[in-house]
Amino acid sequence: MQKLISIILLGSVSFLSPHEAKAQSFYSQRGVGLTKYFVSGQAVGMGGVGLAVSDRFSFNYVNPAALVGMPAAFISGTFTHEALGLSGSGQNADISNTNFSGVQFHLPIKRDRISFAVGLIPYSKIEYSFSGSGSLNNTPLTETLSGAGGVNNAFLSLAFRPFDRLSIGVTGLLYFGNLRSIWRITFAETSGLLNTQQENTLSFTDSNFRVGAQFEALPGWRLGAVYSPSASLNADQSILLINILELTDLPGQVLKIPAAYGVGTSLFLGKKLLVGADYYVERWSDISTDGFVNDGKRFSIGLEYSGRSTRINSSLFSRSAIRLGFFVRDLGLEVPVGESVKEVFGTLGVGFPLRWSASRLDFGLEIGQRGSLDNNPIKENIVRITGAITVGEAWFFRGARR
């Protein structure tokens, strides 16, 4: 347990440490970049369905109300490996990227009644890179423009169950991070011209909140909902020239995060089969910023088959899970103007116990496409593997008094 916790914490350090992004998504150029929608390691295999799912071993990063169902102290870390194939406008590129993408710690204050959780997860990511050539007064030059950074969330969640069938949660969100663009001009060594490197950075720290609820309408049938208001992140701007001159007294900017809401449902068909559907909306149309002019909408359906056995002598298969899902997502972007950018994905997932009834390893595979050559300049074929490790222990457990 301690070793796994250490590894997860080490991985989270990797997540927090700055990386110069070289992989890319063409569609991350705008605003705060591509927003990430991650519910849980379990939900990845189910098409992202999870707003109305409350699993004993699954950390729900979107609906805090789901946390109250976790029976013990848990820590979870998540990583993602993504491979993109870009094509369009006469260009082809293959890019891959692996990174840590979330960590959370859960503590039950009162089992099945009150829960507390803290964690980190990326909210958005900017990763793009362009290059080209040109000249200045007949002196050839090469030019590159790359973007990096994104918005991260540190969060603190509190969930409670006032009634047996209703759970409510609230999450305090702290947005932090920086958005960077790095523009380089390289001249021939003999030209006598100094190379250019201009790094524009927007740094911000701001807060918001999210509320969520889950209601068990009937045994096995659950409804879930989340809402977070819009936020304006006051960002400080700085420009670094040729790595030595930093201009800091520049006017700041306001980065807008849209309000978001989601609704979902999950239903157990028998004891082993869970089906669900979610609908999640980001209200970009209310703030209309930097290419994000329409609401971002995500519709997902998924299922999970698991023996859900808790007996000591039951087989591995009966304690494992298989998942299947599908989602479509409109990013809210128009590239070019008038043409929306959509994602279509199919998903597959598995979950294995690590130790008897205390921990789990979830893998999810997402295969899909972002953009369409019929409407957009670039199509991205994406294969994404997500892994989540959840490790639990019974802390502060009081046995029966004799």
Query: In the window 41-60, what residues touch other proteins (CB under 8 A)?
Result: none
Kindly state the smallest distance separating residue 185's Cβ from other proteins, in Å. 5
66 binds other proteins (CB under 8 A): no
2 binds other proteins (CB under 8 A): no
The three-class DSSP label of residue 245 is strand
Residue 100 within binding range of other proteins, rule CB under 8 A: yes
Identified binder of other proteins from the candidate list 116, 176, 187, 268, rule CB under 8 A: 187
Question: Of 197, 230, 285, 294, which lies in the binding site for other proteins, with binding defined by CB under 8 A?
Answer: 197
CB of residue 294 to other proteins, shortest distance in Å: 16
Part of the chain binding other proteins (CB under 8 A), chosen from 106-114, 234-242, 279-287, 301-309? 234-242
CB of 14 to other proteins, least distance (A): 4
Instruction: Give the x-and-dash track for 293-332 against other proteins (CB under 8 A).
Output: --------------------x--x----------------
Q: Does 21 bind other proteins (CB under 8 A)?
A: yes
| Residue 26 vs 37, nearer CB to other proteins | 26
Cβ distance to other proteins smaller for residue 135 or 398: 135
Stretch that binds other proteins, among 109-117, 209-217, 236-244, 264-272 (CB under 8 A): 236-244
CA atoms within 13 A on the CB side of 179: 27
Residue 177's nearest CA partner among 205, 200, 201 is 205
Per CB under 8 A, does 355 bind other proteins?
yes
200 binds other proteins (CB under 8 A): yes
Residues 99, 205, 372, 375: which binds other proteins (CB under 8 A)?
99
CB of 386 to other proteins, least distance (A): 11
Partnered with residue 221 across adjacent β-strands are 218, 267
CB 98 within 8 A of CB 127: no
User: Is 77 or 262 the residue whose CB approaches other proteins more closely?
Assistant: 77
324 bridge partner residues:
303, 348
Alpha-carbon dihedral sign for residues 372, 376, 382, 387: negative
Q: Does 117 bind other proteins (CB under 8 A)?
A: no
Q: Which stretch binds other proteins (CB under 8 A): 57-65, 112-120, 273-281, 354-362?
A: 354-362
**Could you say whether residue 288 binds other proteins (CB under 8 A)?**
no
Cα(112)–Cα(391) distance, integer angstroms: 18
**DSSP code, position 292:** B
8 A C-beta contact, residue 125 and residue 152: no
When asked if residue 192 is in the footprint of other proteins (CB under 8 A), the reply is yes
User: Out of 114, 145, 174, 263, which residue is the one contacting other proteins (CB under 8 A)?
Assistant: 145
Total number of residues that touch other proteins (CB under 8 A): 84
Burial class (CB in 10 A: 0-12, 13-18, 19+), 243: exposed
Q: What CA–CA distance (Å, rounded) separates 239 from 200?
A: 5
Helix (H), strand (E), coil (C) string for 267-290: EEECCCEEEEEEEEEECHHHHCEC
The reply on whether position 269 binds other proteins by CB under 8 A is no
Pairing of the two strands 253-257 and 91-110: unpaired
Q: Which one of 5, 154, 174, 185 is in contact with other proteins (CB under 8 A)?
A: 185
Binder of other proteins out of 38, 57, 79, 284 (CB under 8 A): 79
Angle at 310 between CA 60 and CA 101, to 5 degrees: 25
DSSP assignment, residue 397? P
CA angle 109, 74, 12 (to 5 degrees): 120
Asked if residue 360 lies in contact with residue 348, where contact means CB atoms within 8 angstroms, the answer is: no
- Confirm if 296 and 329 have CB atoms less than 8 A apart: yes
